[in-house]
Structure 1
């Protein structure tokens, strides 16, 4: 995520005796993977609590990517300040994966992601 002069990667991990139930949605993907050096962002389930959940994002196809995550209202990304509905992430040299914690605020619908090269 580009914030002024600096690029940040959002990583969120926590948990205690976690068990994922049947409410975990299947992995989803989004991207411009239609040939020519495109990329794909794939979501997978992380830890889950009564009011929030973690998602893992893995990017394939390129090392120069931009991932945009749109979180359905009223849920918010809680690993950024202020809370946001849209997050844009770019690589920071630590690989092609990152994680995010979503505060559900009553909805368990996963965000959508898109990936573009460059």
Structure 2
């Protein structure tokens, strides 16, 4: 008489058989080994750096999304058509200029790195 443990083990082995035959289970074992190595390497300083990086990325994404939503809502609520005079008035505001300076400075740094070749070669599109 088969016990429930043997039946469940037999069912598991039947499900794993195609993975074993195709060698795909080796990939899972390699992934688990890589994860184990990552846990061994990770110390508190690395975890704190990664957490700070993640927090920074989430904050930038959140702020960018909120700014986009606010701008979209303001444009929908403003019935006046867009024209060059309203664009010029927007460009004269210090907050707009600060945002443009940030974007342009970021593009300048990226351009400088592309010129000096400090970016990986596969990211440069010709």
Instruction: Please give the TM-score of this superposition, normalised by the length of structure 1.
Output: 0.22
Q: Which has the larger radius of gyration?
A: 2
Q: RCO higher in 1 or 2 (8 Å CA, sep ≥ 6)?
A: 1
Greater fraction of residues in helix: 2
Structure number having the greater strand percentage: 1
What TM-score comes out, normalization by structure 2 length?
Answer: 0.21
